[in-house]
Chains A and B, each alone.
Chain A
């Protein structure tokens, strides 16, 4: 039993509770405390990564109840990778929020920590029902974060987001109940064994439950046709929240990956995943080309990045999954950088905000323009930033797949069209700005805000420079995922397979 595994759960929970208790004290102290909490979370995630890097799987049984009877938390390479990505992203999003967004409503910092608590829990848990609970935790925090600051458009988007996610939660419970009714367990490792040994007359129902779960996770990941909620929700919330939400779709992708490798191996899910992921990428790109607002465009690019990521997962091979895992943090950071930058651009344009129409010349337009250019080549996947390596790895993995022409065609054409869409936005925002006319009462963007965008882009450079070790780690994670026996043995113990 390793207590390190539960630490990334406890830290944001305690930080959130303390922030709620001491909500009366000066905002500067609360900001400092929240930032220190996220920094601590990052350190814990890195320590956890170094602990699982050798291929070990750490298990923490809550209350020391042996699995499969108690709830357990499991950390493997994939979990640690997701935790590090989340913590890094959260650090930037929170730092940006501390520049002023957190004043727009109450309890921002509490909700932010609880969101991290839900995210960490979803990545760490080794129990299906517990996964549902952590999904609800992160969702209810996300509902409130989405609404943070208020406003008509935000409320309308939040209403759609909340209702569709509640319907998704109902489906999740039905699937979990069905699996428990059929197999008598909710522990993921135990489920993996029981599904493999399910009697033929129960197999159709088990498969139905599996596909139902896939539907729920596809809704969270915004896989077409369950993606209609995403653009509205992401385009209308405040910038740091949208940046943090860049990881939310990846939670769905993580759950799909975990489910399809651990429990429902074989073609059950993967056969559905690849065509839908290709469609998601196509819809995302078409949406990005047709957007009339910059933030809606970025939201559609998030959709496209989910498509690309799930294409990699849908290839089903170790090379594909490894490539997807390398692409995951890149696409998260790039989308977050664009959301933050779009907020800075919108702040410079007065009433026009982020609408894609020629407007006044922006303050510090040189810096904004260069950052926009870098963000665009990063998210479209051009060298020298990490998006190129991620896409290259995915395409290389796709070469031996039967549907390689589709994958190559859609990903490459999609990349080109994304670049065209962003080039159009960039030229409308920067080149066709009216000289002389400046929007009234705006201040130039602060160095701190632009520094944070630059920092997120620098992560892309760092991921390029460290591409060797990082892609070694992700392909090792993929190998580990495709060996679910190790996971089952780690959770249930060496005698687990003999247990009736």
Chain B
């Protein structure tokens, strides 16, 4: 399971970085989103992967899942959501003002 998750995070990061380096705003926004997905999964995995464990320690529990990374990831998701919304609006405004969707706003075929 760990190897699979690591592979997913790696793949998301690689795809995110590739898209981030594109010259049009739409792939860049997608790249940022993929990157933030990868980061969220990574943060989540930092509490170690455990299945079917309660997040609260009780007397008869066999173990517990660390609740703190879950709280962190929730915060990161909310912030990432707001930032994605902002960058989409900015990209739309740039498209409207600059007349094209190149990240430098230059005209080229």
Interface residues of A (CB under 8 A from B): 129, 133, 136, 140, 143, 147, 150-152, 155-156, 158-160, 162-163, 166-167, 169-170, 173-174, 176-178, 180-181
| Among A129, A140, A147, A156, contact of B82 (Cβ-Cβ < 8 Å) | A140
- Measured between beta carbons, the chain A residues less than 8 angstroms from B104 are 156
| Among B76, B91, B105, contact of A173 (Cβ-Cβ < 8 Å) | B76
Q: Does B90 lie at the interface of the complex (its beta carbon under 8 Å from any beta carbon of A)?
A: yes
- Measured between beta carbons, the chain B residues less than 8 angstroms from A155 are 90, 93-94, 97-98, 105
User: Do B94 and A170 touch across chains, with their CB atoms under 8 A apart?
Assistant: no
- Measured between beta carbons, the chain B residues less than 8 angstroms from A156 are 94, 98, 104-105
**Interface of B: prevailing SS:** helix
| Among B39, B48, B93, contact of A170 (Cβ-Cβ < 8 Å) | B39
Q: How far is the CA of A101 from the CA of B69 in the complex (A)?
A: 43
| Among A143, A160, A169, A180, contact of B72 (Cβ-Cβ < 8 Å) | A180
Q: How far is the CA of A150 from the CA of B46 in the complex (A)?
A: 41
A231 CB to closest chain B CB, in angstroms?
A: 14
User: Do B75 and A162 touch across chains, with their CB atoms under 8 A apart?
Assistant: no
Interface residues of B (CB under 8 A from A): 20, 25, 28, 32, 35-36, 38-39, 42-43, 45-48, 68-69, 72, 75-76, 79, 82-83, 86-87, 90-91, 93-94, 97-98, 103-105
- Measured between beta carbons, the chain A residues less than 8 angstroms from B105 are 152, 155-156, 159
B9 CB to closest chain A CB, in angstroms?
A: 10
Given A129-B72, A133-B75: A167 touches B87 (CB 8 Å cut-off): no
Give the nearest-CB partner of A157 in chain B: B105
User: Do B79 and A136 touch across chains, with their CB atoms under 8 A apart?
Assistant: yes
User: Do A162 and B36 touch across chains, with their CB atoms under 8 A apart?
Assistant: no
Give the nearest-CB partner of B87 in chain A: A162
Give the nearest-CB partner of A156 in chain B: B105
Q: How far is the CA of A429 from the CA of B105 in the complex (A)?
A: 30
Give the nearest-CB partner of B32 in chain A: A166
User: Do A180 and B46 touch across chains, with their CB atoms under 8 A apart?
Assistant: yes
Give the nearest-CB partner of A160 in chain B: B103
B75 CB to closest chain A CB, in angstroms?
A: 7
**Among all A-B residue pairs, the 6 with the closest Cβ atoms:** A181-B46, A177-B43, A177-B46, A156-B105, A173-B39, A170-B35
User: Do B69 and A180 touch across chains, with their CB atoms under 8 A apart?
Assistant: yes
Q: How far is the CA of A155 from the CA of B25 in the complex (A)?
A: 13
- Known interface pairs A155-B98, A160-B103, A181-B69; 8 further A-B residue pairs with C-beta atoms within 8 A, sorted by A's residue number: A136-B83, A150-B97, A155-B90, A156-B94, A156-B98, A162-B90, A169-B83, A170-B32
Q: How far is the CA of A152 from the CA of B68 in the complex (A)?
A: 43
User: Do B46 and A178 touch across chains, with their CB atoms under 8 A apart?
Assistant: yes
Q: How far is the CA of A166 from the CA of B31 in the complex (A)?
A: 11
- Measured between beta carbons, the chain B residues less than 8 angstroms from A173 are 39, 42-43, 76
- Measured between beta carbons, the chain B residues less than 8 angstroms from A140 are 82-83, 86
- Measured between beta carbons, the chain B residues less than 8 angstroms from A158 are 90
- Measured between beta carbons, the chain A residues less than 8 angstroms from B98 are 152, 155-156
B13 CB to closest chain A CB, in angstroms?
A: 9
User: Do B42 and A129 touch across chains, with their CB atoms under 8 A apart?
Assistant: no
User: Do B87 and A174 touch across chains, with their CB atoms under 8 A apart?
Assistant: no
- Measured between beta carbons, the chain A residues less than 8 angstroms from B76 are 173
